[in-house]
Structure 1
Amino acid sequence: MDEKDWTDWPEEFANAYRRAGHWRDRTLSELLCDQARDLGERIALVSPSGRLSYAELDTRVTHLARGLADLPVRPGERVLLQLPNREEYVIALFALLRIGAVPILAPPSLGRADLVALTRLSAAAVHVVADRHGRRDLGPVAAEVARACPSLRRLVVAGDPGTGNGIALGALEEKGAALTGGFPDVSPNALALLLLSGGTTGTPKLIPRTHADYAYNARASAEVCGVGADSVYLAVLPVSHNFTMVSPGLLGVLCSGGTVVLCPDPSPTTALALVETEGVTITSLVPALVPHWLDEAARGGRNLSSLEVLQVGGSRLDDTTARRVRPELGCGLQQVFGMAEGLNNYTRLDDPEDIVCTTQGRPLSPSDEVLVVDEEGRPVPPGQPGELLTRGPYTLRGYYRAREQDRLCFTAEGFYRTGDLVTRTERGDLVVVGRVKDQVNRAGEKIAAVEVEEHLLAIPGVRAAALVGVPDPFLGERAVAVLVAGGHRPSVAEVRGLLLERGVAAFKVPDEVRFAAVLPLTGIGKVDKRRLRTELGSS
Structure 2
Amino acid sequence: MSADRYRAAGWWRPERVDDLVLRHAEALADRCAIVQEQRRMTYRQLTVAVDSTAARLRLLGLRAPEPVLLQLPNSIELLVLALALMRAGCPPVLAMPTLRGHELSPVIATLRPAALAVPPRSRAFDHTEMARRLIGEHDCVRTLLAWEDLHALCAPGHGEAARVHTPHPQDIALHLLSSGTTGPPKGIPRTHEAFTSVIRAASEVSALDRDSVYLAAIPVTHSFAFGHPGVLGTLAGGGRVVLARSADPAHCLDLVERERVTHCALVPGLAAQWLTELRDHPRDVSSLRVLQVGGAQLDPAAARRLATGLDCAVQQVYGMSEGLLCFTRLDDPDDLAATTQGRPAAPGDELRVVDHAGRTAPPGTVGELWTRGPSTITAYAADVRPPEAFGPGGFYRTGDLVRLDDACNVTVVGRVKDVINRSGEKIPAGDLEALLLRHPAVCAAAVVAMPHPLHGEAVCAVVVASGSGDDVPRLRELRDFLRAQGIAPFKLPDRVEVVAALPVTGVGKVDKARLRRTVAALVAAGRPDPAGQTAGGQESPSSSRSAAAGVSS
TM-score, length basis structure 2 = 0.78
Partner of 2:52: 63
For the structure 1 residues 181 and 326, does the alpha-carbon distance in structure 2 shift closer, same or farther, using more than 3 Å as the test? Answer: closer
Can you give the 5+ residue segments of structure 1 that lack an aligned partner in the other structure? 1-11, 160-167, 441-452, 494-514, 520-535
Partner of 1:46: 35
Partner of 2:21: 32
CA–CA distance in 2 between the matches of 1:203 and 1:462? Answer: 26
Choose the corresponding residue for 2:248, options 239, 264, 267. 267
Choose the corresponding residue for 1:223, options 178, 201, 204. 204
Partner of 2:391: 411
For the structure 1 residues 518 and 416, does the alpha-carbon distance in structure 2 shift closer, same or farther, using more than 3 Å as the test? Answer: farther
CA–CA distance in 1 between the matches of 2:417 and 2:133? Answer: 34
Native 8 Å contact 2:48 2:156 kept in 1: no
Moved more, 120-129 or 228-237: 120-129
Partner of 2:340: 359
Choose the corresponding residue for 1:381, options 344, 359, 362. 362
CA–CA distance in 2 between the matches of 1:537 and 1:89? Answer: 46
Residues 447-466 of structure 1 correspond to what in structure 2 (within 5 A)?
464=456
CA–CA distance in 2 between the matches of 1:277 and 1:378? Answer: 53
Residues 85-234 of structure 1 correspond to what in structure 2 (within 5 A)?
85-132=74-121, 135-159=124-148, 168-173=149-154, 177=158, 180-234=161-215
In the alignment, structure 1 residue 472 sits paired with structure 2 residue 506:
no
Counterpart code for 1:380: A
CA–CA distance in 1 between the matches of 2:523 and 2:118? Answer: 43
CA–CA distance in 1 between the matches of 2:520 and 2:43? Answer: 44
Counterpart code for 1:434: G
In the alignment, structure 1 residue 436 sits paired with structure 2 residue 416:
yes
For the structure 1 residues 251 and 155, does the alpha-carbon distance in structure 2 shift closer, same or farther, using more than 3 Å as the test? Answer: same
Moved more, 318-327 or 175-184: 175-184
CA shift digits 1:235-286 (9 cap, x unpaired): 0111111111122101111111111111100100100000000000010111
In the alignment, structure 1 residue 424 sits paired with structure 2 residue 382:
no
Choose the corresponding residue for 1:323, options 304, 318, 327. 304
In the alignment, structure 1 residue 292 sits paired with structure 2 residue 289:
no
**1:492 offset after TM fit, Å?**
9.2
Native 8 Å contact 2:518 2:551 kept in 1: no
CA–CA distance in 1 between the matches of 2:525 and 2:208? Answer: 46
Partner of 1:504: none
Native 8 Å contact 2:451 2:520 kept in 1: no
CA–CA distance in 2 between the matches of 1:180 and 1:41? Answer: 19
Moved more, 29-38 or 321-330: 29-38
For the structure 1 residues 537 and 99, does the alpha-carbon distance in structure 2 shift closer, same or farther, using more than 3 Å as the test? Answer: farther
Counterpart code for 1:93: A
Native 8 Å contact 1:80 1:105 kept in 2: yes
Counterpart code for 1:303: D
Partner of 1:3: none
* DSSP 3-state at the match of 1:39: coil
Partner of 2:377: 396
CA–CA distance in 2 between the matches of 1:269 and 1:332? Answer: 21
For the structure 1 residues 371 and 139, does the alpha-carbon distance in structure 2 shift closer, same or farther, using more than 3 Å as the test? Answer: same
Partner of 1:163: none
In the alignment, structure 1 residue 82 sits paired with structure 2 residue 118:
no
**1:201 offset after TM fit, Å?**
4.8
Native 8 Å contact 2:25 2:44 kept in 1: yes
CA–CA distance in 2 between the matches of 1:197 and 1:135? Answer: 25
CA–CA distance in 2 between the matches of 1:468 and 1:130? Answer: 30
Can you give the 5+ residue segments of structure 2 that lack an aligned partner in the other structure? 421-447, 463-501, 528-532, 538-549
Native 8 Å contact 1:323 1:357 kept in 2: yes
In the alignment, structure 1 residue 339 sits paired with structure 2 residue 336:
no
Native 8 Å contact 1:64 1:177 kept in 2: no
For the structure 1 residues 270 and 484, does the alpha-carbon distance in structure 2 shift closer, same or farther, using more than 3 Å as the test? Answer: farther
Partner of 1:252: 233
For the structure 1 residues 176 and 50, does the alpha-carbon distance in structure 2 shift closer, same or farther, using more than 3 Å as the test? Answer: closer
**1:148 offset after TM fit, Å?**
1.0
Native 8 Å contact 1:205 1:400 kept in 2: yes
For the structure 1 residues 412 and 241, does the alpha-carbon distance in structure 2 shift closer, same or farther, using more than 3 Å as the test? Answer: same
* DSSP 3-state at the match of 1:480: helix
**1:135 offset after TM fit, Å?**
4.5
**1:177 offset after TM fit, Å?**
4.7
Moved more, 343-352 or 191-200: 191-200
Partner of 1:73: 62
Counterpart code for 2:317: V
CA–CA distance in 2 between the matches of 1:293 and 1:134? Answer: 26
**1:318 offset after TM fit, Å?**
1.6
Partner of 2:438: none
* DSSP 3-state at the match of 1:296: helix
* DSSP 3-state at the match of 1:356: helix
The alignment of Structure 1 onto Structure 2 pairs a total of residues equal to 467
Moved more, 115-124 or 364-373: 115-124
Native 8 Å contact 2:77 2:154 kept in 1: no
CA–CA distance in 2 between the matches of 1:467 and 1:110? Answer: 17
**1:468 offset after TM fit, Å?**
7.9
Q: Percent identity?
A: 41
Counterpart code for 1:472: P
Native 8 Å contact 1:67 1:176 kept in 2: no
CA–CA distance in 1 between the matches of 2:505 and 2:520? Answer: 28
**1:366 offset after TM fit, Å?**
2.1
CA–CA distance in 1 between the matches of 2:375 and 2:319? Answer: 12
Native 8 Å contact 1:463 1:483 kept in 2: no
Native 8 Å contact 1:80 1:104 kept in 2: yes
TM-score, length basis structure 1 = 0.80
For the structure 1 residues 81 and 302, does the alpha-carbon distance in structure 2 shift closer, same or farther, using more than 3 Å as the test? Answer: same
CA–CA distance in 2 between the matches of 1:482 and 1:121? Answer: 40
* DSSP 3-state at the match of 1:401: helix
CA–CA distance in 1 between the matches of 2:271 and 2:152? Answer: 40
**1:305 offset after TM fit, Å?**
0.5
CA–CA distance in 1 between the matches of 2:275 and 2:518? Answer: 22
CA–CA distance in 1 between the matches of 2:402 and 2:155? Answer: 51
For the structure 1 residues 247 and 462, does the alpha-carbon distance in structure 2 shift closer, same or farther, using more than 3 Å as the test? Answer: closer
For the structure 1 residues 351 and 174, does the alpha-carbon distance in structure 2 shift closer, same or farther, using more than 3 Å as the test? Answer: closer
For the structure 1 residues 28 and 537, does the alpha-carbon distance in structure 2 shift closer, same or farther, using more than 3 Å as the test? Answer: farther
**1:121 offset after TM fit, Å?**
1.2
Moved more, 429-438 or 127-136: 127-136
**1:382 offset after TM fit, Å?**
2.3
